[in-house]
Structure 1
């Protein structure tokens, strides 16, 4: 790190910097192992941070950072396989934002002080009641954390060509330890570019230039798990937690029906837009899922494949499939085609109310049962569509 500087104002009562700034002139990093060598560098960078007392305890913290001229050269060299694959990642500007709400800075600092004072195993065991008290005091650790990495004119140079995006960002958010927490991920990119030499010519017009993907989880009960673990912990036993403890809290966790969520997400280019959203729970061994997909410009996909099918065997193979999929669709007033897909724990799958796959046959040890996966299904039955038969 060249010419690194930092200054700030620290509040002991909050156990946090209420304000601060840091700067660097440049930074380099080298990492090397048997199969990979990495050289990374940044230009000038600045970070600002601040904290204020939170209304419900802890502190609300913010941090923003910008760094220029980011370059990372990764050389894969595997002597065993003989594969050599150099990749260089570049961006003229990297920005980072982070926000924490209700971060329990003081209880976390108290935990650190306890760890320093009780690094001896005997002392730790003797004072485990205090440790449990401090762990409980630190919950929920934070109310919410959110952070985003953003790259401008992002590029990945490789032997097969250059991948890139004019804007690329990844975001992450997570509730603290609560009985009904949420976790969110997002990936956004505009001006996407993919090396065309690695793709069939007909597919180029179908590639997305912009993506906005959102997914995560909901109804996540970490509070019960954490408190049960703290209560059960006994450092004087080996192991400190019962051997079946993991199975117990796993069963408790699933009993609260956590949910996997696909937030409204889109992939689009100038002619086509695909949107999807849905959710999935796991009431038993099999999922209970509902996902809705709608597409604007589906005819553009059909036209591209129909034209390409005349000369390209791969396109000819896909063409009947896109016709069949269209047959299950429902035409919306705005011209989009929609597919509402439902998968039930009994193994059945419906699309817009039409049965794509029936429920799994009930197993009988005395006879072999057909699970129904070889049945032909006619798209559009019970629907307005029609098309070729599918074998799910």
Structure 2
């Protein structure tokens, strides 16, 4: 937020009181003049640089509904200095020791946190509205939070983060960022006096990492939208200037071309009263196109070296548990571009609602007409004997789901043998054996020995497996609107029974 003040090129300006005032004026464009007047943000000269101070206590005092009982939070400060190329050198010490208490919906809530030896520096380019380079680090952090039903303690060791950005060939900014934190621990103790629930859970990982990248992020147009929002806070001004708002919204599209990221834990462990869960590697991945005519969204969960408390499971099932999971799903053919442009063009803030219900229904119909898909990307679930692979998609013709999924299994015979062996000592397992054999009968054996099932479910309700009809189409529904106008209510759909 501080860096909004650096929206104007430095252009080798002299660091002086006039420059400090200019920075303050630039900052007020994005945060409002009141933030400057109330001392929430201050710009001053210090050691040949500008100091931009953010006062959290002044911010808290400005809230009309004061439920804070305690608020100890030291101000944060940025040191910024103009460079000869028009960019800014930025440095910051974000070490902190803070605490606050307030009356929440569950009664008194309190939080304390600290950051040890937190430092950051980088180069900010106002022409890109982004850091072209930057690094930050900390020696460690702690956090404690408590309310009537829950007590949480979290801590982490040393951490480091980097960021870099360049001008995108397609407009906007391309960026990459990464972060690693060591010795992450979070302990949550649920203690609900009303229900009697007491359940402590501790999550651990020696390394937490985050990676993200973006293409064509529209940083400058998004800043222009923020400035417009600040300048048009009251309803009357906003309505009067909605033509400008529409122009700025169009300019900000598509928001970004693509954003991707991963969030991962090494040697992830969960300790609980029912036993310990773990994974040598646990990660999530996500990705999203911007506002596009044919956009995609992807999401994935990947875990390897999975372990669960086996005392919770029947002994025969332990060998069937997966040790590695890679699940990928998302959406495709997502036309947000047409929706956004039509909505921006049509909305009228002088009407209530700004967009009519009829327009919303038409927008939905147009969106569905582009055949958006729910996609199951190539996914696998496996253990030492068996690997299951899945892939498929679903569409909604006529607003009814229609989809197909391909399932490949390697080691299916091993799975059946395991069930048959378990059935000798566990009679209840015997009920699963014929089901597995029937499934094998529907399967197609591939050249490498894997079994494959291609399942197609049509909008008419029919289901086929490898071309064999498993379920026929649903019977046509008689709506009772035939040509017989005799008035005879003795039968047919919708007939009334006379007692």
Give the TM-score taking structure 2 as reference length.
Answer: 0.72
Classify the secondary structure of the residue corresponding to 1:275: strand
Q: What is the correspondence of 1:210-229 to structure 2 with a 5 Å cutoff?
A: 210-229=324-343
Which residue is equivalent to 2:125? 11
1:73 aligns with 2:197: no
Query: Which ranges in structure 2 are unaligned for 5 or more consecutive residues?
Result: 1-114, 481-490, 494-499
Where does residue 298 of structure 2 map in the other structure?
184
Q: Choose the corresponding residue for 2:214, options 91, 100, 107.
A: 100
Matches of 1:33 and 1:2 in 2, distance apart? 25
Aligned-CA RMSD value: 1.4
Which of 46, 54, 57 is matched with 2:160 structurally? 46
Higher relative contact order (CA 8 A, sep 6+): 1
Asked if 2 retains the 8 angstrom alpha-carbon contact of 1:286 and 1:347, the reply is no
The question of 1:115 aligning with 2:229 is answered yes
Deviation at 1:83, TM superposition (A): 2.0
Q: What's 1:132 paired with?
A: 246
Whether 2:471 is the aligned partner of 1:357: answer: yes
Distance 1:142 1:34 in 2: 42
Q: Alpha-carbon deviation of 1:248?
A: 2.5
The farther-off stretch of 131-140 and 233-242 is 233-242
Q: CA deviation at 1:32?
A: 4.1
Other structure's SS at 1:47 match:
strand
Q: Distance in 1 between matches of 2:192 and 2:364?
A: 39
Which position in structure 1 is the counterpart of 2:413?
Answer: 299
User: Residue 147 of structure 1: SS of its match in structure 2?
Assistant: strand
How far apart are residue 214 of structure 1 and its match? 1.0
Query: Aligned pairs, how many?
Result: 368
Alignment of 1:1-392 (within 5 A): 1-364=115-478, 365=480
Q: Which residue of 2 aligns with 1:381?
A: none
5+ long unaligned stretches in structure 1 = 369-392
Contact persistence 1:15–1:106 (CA under 8 A): yes
Q: Distance in 1 between matches of 2:191 and 2:246?
A: 48
Aligned to 2:424, what secondary structure does the other structure show? coil
Once the two structures are TM-superposed, the CA of residue 122 in structure 1 deviates from its matched residue by 1.9
Work out the CA distance in 2 between the residues paired with 1:30 and 1:239: 44
CA distance in 1, matches of 2:398, 2:418: 42
Q: Deviation digits for residues 23-76 of structure 1, max 9, x if unmatched?
A: 112122334455433322211111000100000100001101000111111222
TM-score with structure 1 setting the length: 0.91
Instruction: Report Cα offsets for 1:112-136 as digits up to 9, x if no partner.
Output: 1111111122221111111111111
Cα distance between partner residues in 2 of 1:367 and 1:318: 43
Go from structure 1 to structure 2 and tell me whether the alpha carbon gap of 1:35 and 1:328 turns closer, same or farther (over 3 Å shift). Answer: farther
- The equivalent residue for 1:383 is none
> 1:382 aligns to what?
none
Identify if the C-alpha distance between structure 1 residues 322 and 140 changes in structure 2 by more than 3 Å, giving closer, same or farther.
same
Q: Distance in 2 between matches of 1:313 and 1:85?
A: 35
Over 3 Å counting, the alpha-carbon distance change for 1:224 and 1:333 in structure 2 is same
